[in-house]
Structure 1
Amino acid sequence: MRLSWNYGFSILFVFNLNKATARPDCQGDVRIEVSAGAEEFFTVGVSAGFGAQFSRSANQTFDLVVADPFDACFFEEAAYAGQAVLVQRGSCNFTDKAENVQRVGARFMLLVDTDDSGCVPMGSTEGSSEEPLKLILGAATISAKAGARLQELLAAGQAVNISPWAPTYSRYDASEIVMWLIAVAAVTAAGLWAGSDFLEERLSRQSFQGEGVVSKKVSQRPEVTMITPQVAIIFVAFASIMLLTLYFFLSHIFFLFLLTVFCIASSQAIVIALTPALTHFAPHLRETQFVVPRTQWEVSAPVAILGPPVAALVIIWAMCRLETWAWPLQDLMGLSMMLLILRQFRLPSIKVASILLPLCFLYDIFWVFLQPLITHSDSVMVDVAKGGSSHETMPMLLLGDLEAMWEGVDDGEESAAAFKDSDAGSAPRPDEEWGAADAGHETESSSLMHPGSHSQAQPRSPARGHQ
């Protein structure tokens, strides 16, 4: 029974730490390559429900300019022949903006959303203009963050070029499978490891029963902590306090402190997790000790062997954590910490499980869904997961970013060049180039897409989770 409760605690822990954290940025079907001098990056947008269809490859490039006035509700004297125009949402209808931009010769309209929570899709209905045009320009919406980044580049005098296109998306997200496998692996490994400790301890005690001796092998195992009902309640309360502390006080300096603690703790956890495998193939290392020169410190052989490469691995991750290939290292570090924690904490009875599991479930529901409704603000948990004012992704995250090549980075910190190879299978189709589509009209509140006017690529969200 004790093994079952420990396995249940593993499920609780991974469920609690591996919750989905939806990013409020754009999750659209259009990829927009941006080139500004030596800087290259991409962002993601949502295609409009009117106007031209998008190419399946980045074979159209436009010079980007800012509309004057920015809302593009009217132009007195303007000429944007062949250019892409950056337009702000608001003041008039979507199709009015598009018609005004098209009248002055522009080929593409890039709408900047004013809501930080995402991107509004541009649709079309009747009645927004007295003289409707047949819209033949392309149009897409980008997030407020991406728009601010483009405005900064243009204000600095940079020549900005954009290449919008619509990648072919799979209906299935491989990242979700990766995240599921990571969660299941963590639950299974933690439960089996802790269960193995318990069974070996019980067998050893039975073997030495009556002799007053406990085997050395058992005494070297980490101390086990039993979760009591009081500890279960304190655990959830402490988690809420820590969440609020991070929300109100998270800064770049505080983030660096958390990063340092995470690196030290995870490096120790990786060494502990790998030690059984090392001693299985080299049993003589279990009893071997080394003395650090000029000190009295004794270091076990597994620590001396595994410590340097693990430390190097953690340092590499800390220096390159923003790279798209770094997420497996972060997952390895996080999983090692979880395995160590789940190995040492056990639920001794169904009473404790009946208290802790529902409380953690309510904790998740409250901070993700109920708290934003009560406070009329963003979710504290989502904001902390995104790094708050530090704008850093929290290291205590499990990631499965196989789709990073499509999701883009709205603040322009990722290089588009790093993902070019993945687009080789998206050959352009002649019938989906910049062709015309029937244009209607729409108020800003609508989110309907014009049927058949655009590729039906489905936006996907990244599979991420708390650790």
Structure 2
Amino acid sequence: MVKLIVHVGGNATTGDDDAQILALTASFGAGLPKTKPEALSFSLAQMQPLLACSDPSPPLPSFHGQAVLVQRGECSFASKALRVQQLGAAAAIVINNEEGILGMGCNATDLAAGDVTIPVIMLSNSSGQFLLQALANSSSSSPSSPSSPSSPSSPSSPVTISLYAPPRSLLDLAELVLWALALLSLVGASAWAAAEEKAALELKAGSGQSGAEQPQGEASGAFDMSVGSAVGFVVMSSVMLLLLFFLMSPVVFYIILALFCFAALESLHVCLSSLLYRIFPLQSSLGASLPCLGFVSWLSLASFLFSLALTVSWAIFRNHPDAWVAQDILGIALMITVLQAVRLPNIKVSTALLSLAFFYDIFWVFISPLFFNGKSVMIEVATGERTGGEGIPMLLKVPHIMDPWGGYSVLGFGDVVLPGLLIVFTRRYDCITKKMGMDGYYMPAILGYAAGLLLTFAGLFLMNGNGQPALLYLVPCTLGVIVVLAWRRGELSALWNRGEESSEPRVSEDEEEPLVGPGPARTSLTEGRRKDVLHKGSAL
């Protein structure tokens, strides 16, 4: 990759108003320096004819020491580069005839490639049009165009560029921050689940019912997923992904944004309220009765106002360079809440869900381009190709710290929540069976997730930044580890069929069944769940 810095004004010193363009070098020709101080600087010119597949009409122009723009098409890249090189050019810049940039190569019969000794780079069509327009604007103010073939020698162009090719860092610190955020989400959700399970065990201690026999989900009224609901989840996720791929527009994006904000607001309020009640238990009874809302504790009100302020601020300033902090806070709260509202009852359901999600992720990232004109459905929806580059908000994101190319490292909520359901299950199981550390299943599961996520980032680097299906690495490192470990311990049968005395998901009587859709933004907590978490029945 190449950074091309454009400066209009006749010198190569870069300022705040300079434009930066991403480009790609050819497999032939000269290389470029790796640092900005060593960048090669050229004045810019335009070949006539722009395709550069034939010699210009006499008198021939002289592009001595200039970088010359040419258009892709009709003849080989090497032929274009050699032609402008013979006219004195110091670099050839090929404008692609479509958006995006591609690698320029040559075959064994292209003899011109061996004679090219200047740097050759490619720009996207929009970047090329920007440079052509800059040249046209500069030419209109001078009596002679620097790229005009009517004069034997073109004067120095007032448009100058600098070229250098900084290497990508082997591992950006952003990936490590993202890794830590994902683990923090899972550890927090697991700790919350363990606390609820311990409280439920204490309540059951005098009833004569053993911990191992305790019904799943009874402690907090969580929805226990079944094999059928796991299949339905993956099918609905595929349908929703296709709908977003075909129907995504600014209007649809804002609908998704509104749903995300509503779910994130509720989730952050629940998480903060629960945390405040645990830290300040004596203040939980302090509050006031409000019209239409009833009694509202001050702790709940404070957490709601903070959650509302953060959510609204993020929605308004979501494109600010630092908005990722608020987005990640909202996302972590949303994922933790989902992991409390939806649970896996046993390894059989876990295997059904994660196995289907494994193939779902691979298909929509790697295989879907075969059916959708070379476009990866998952990547196109996630990156916001049809909404002006503004991707869907259901992901964690951290800006690159060491990468000179900038950008973000991202991780979808599903890559945390789906393996997280299994990890939370193992934490609850270890709590009930009083297993500790590596003797249980939670620690191997969380360590497996950590290793799988590192493998995902390694795959991302080895594939030159192309999107990776994270579940390709995470499912074997979590579900695979747990199944093998349970089999070796002789406990696979117990884990596989655990909690199957009733085939229907258990939901406590004072609740309605929560709606579970194909994504975290479509999971809502029930009123009974809020009462359980917020104690005094806060209407907020």
TM-score norm. by structure 2 comes to 0.61
- Residue 258 of structure 1: how far off its partner (Å): 1.4
1:225 alignment counterpart: 223
Percent identity, please.
28
CA distance in structure 1 between the aligned counterparts of 2:136 and 2:206, rounded to whole angstroms = 77
Name whichever of 247-256 and 177-186 sits farther off. 177-186
CA distance in structure 1 between the aligned counterparts of 2:262 and 2:307, rounded to whole angstroms = 10
CA contact under 8 A between 1:72 and 1:88: conserved in structure 2? yes
| Local SS of the residue matching 2:35 | coil
2:120 alignment counterpart: 139
2:465 alignment counterpart: 461
- Does residue 101 (structure 1) correspond to residue 68 (structure 2)? The answer is no
What is the identity, as a one-letter code, of the residue corresponding to 1:106? A
Superposed CA deviations along residues 21-57 of structure 1, whole A, max 9, x for unmatched, are: xxxxxxx2x2222346985442332233322532521
CA distance in structure 1 between the aligned counterparts of 2:305 and 2:248, rounded to whole angstroms = 31
- Does residue 383 (structure 1) correspond to residue 380 (structure 2)? The answer is yes
> Unaligned stretches of 5+ in structure 2?
10-15, 140-157, 210-216, 408-461, 471-519, 521-540
CA contact under 8 A between 1:403 and 1:462: conserved in structure 2? no
CA distance in structure 1 between the aligned counterparts of 2:257 and 2:402, rounded to whole angstroms = 23
CA contact under 8 A between 2:77 and 2:104: conserved in structure 1? no
1:31 alignment counterpart: 3
CA distance in structure 1 between the aligned counterparts of 2:385 and 2:36, rounded to whole angstroms = 35
2:21 alignment counterpart: 43
| Local SS of the residue matching 2:242 | helix
CA distance in structure 1 between the aligned counterparts of 2:129 and 2:342, rounded to whole angstroms = 47
CA contact under 8 A between 1:173 and 1:460: conserved in structure 2? no
Paired residues, number: 381
CA distance in structure 1 between the aligned counterparts of 2:467 and 2:100, rounded to whole angstroms = 18
Superposed CA deviations along residues 327-363 of structure 1, whole A, max 9, x for unmatched, are: 2322222121111101111111222122111111111
CA distance in structure 2 between the aligned counterparts of 1:459 and 1:157, rounded to whole angstroms = 41
- Residue 395 of structure 1: how far off its partner (Å): 1.0
| Local SS of the residue matching 1:129 | helix
- Residue 267 of structure 1: how far off its partner (Å): 2.3
CA contact under 8 A between 2:263 and 2:334: conserved in structure 1? yes
CA, structure 1 residues 380+462, in 2 after alignment: closer, same or farther (shift >3 Å)?
Answer: closer
Greater Rg over alpha carbons, structure: 2
What is the identity, as a one-letter code, of the residue corresponding to 1:69? P
1:401 alignment counterpart: 399
Name whichever of 251-260 and 325-334 sits farther off. 325-334
CA contact under 8 A between 2:51 and 2:72: conserved in structure 1? yes
What is the identity, as a one-letter code, of the residue corresponding to 2:282? H
- Does residue 54 (structure 1) correspond to residue 33 (structure 2)? The answer is yes
2:234 alignment counterpart: 236
1:358 alignment counterpart: 355
CA distance in structure 1 between the aligned counterparts of 2:40 and 2:237, rounded to whole angstroms = 50
CA distance in structure 2 between the aligned counterparts of 1:358 and 1:226, rounded to whole angstroms = 18
- Does residue 255 (structure 1) correspond to residue 253 (structure 2)? The answer is yes
| Local SS of the residue matching 2:162 | strand
| Local SS of the residue matching 1:407 | coil
Superposed CA deviations along residues 118-145 of structure 1, whole A, max 9, x for unmatched, are: 4214568674339x7562x333223445
CA, structure 1 residues 127+376, in 2 after alignment: closer, same or farther (shift >3 Å)?
Answer: closer
- Does residue 311 (structure 1) correspond to residue 308 (structure 2)? The answer is yes
TM-score norm. by structure 1 comes to 0.70
Q: Report which structure shows greater RCO (CA 8 Å, sep ≥6).
A: 1
Kindly report the root-mean-square deviation, in angstroms, between the aligned alpha carbons of the 2 structures.
3.6
2:66 alignment counterpart: 83
What is the identity, as a one-letter code, of the residue corresponding to 2:4? I
| Local SS of the residue matching 2:22 | strand
Superposed CA deviations along residues 226-271 of structure 1, whole A, max 9, x for unmatched, are: 0011111111111011111111111112112211221222122222
| Local SS of the residue matching 1:312 | helix
1:67 alignment counterpart: 47
CA distance in structure 2 between the aligned counterparts of 1:145 and 1:291, rounded to whole angstroms = 60
CA contact under 8 A between 2:30 and 2:119: conserved in structure 1? yes
| Local SS of the residue matching 2:404 | helix
Within-5 A mapping of 1:315-464: 315-391=312-388, 392-403=390-401, 406-408=404-406, 461=465
CA distance in structure 2 between the aligned counterparts of 1:296 and 1:148, rounded to whole angstroms = 59
> Unaligned stretches of 5+ in structure 1?
1-27, 211-217, 410-457
| Local SS of the residue matching 2:112 | coil
| Local SS of the residue matching 1:70 | coil
What is the identity, as a one-letter code, of the residue corresponding to 1:54? P
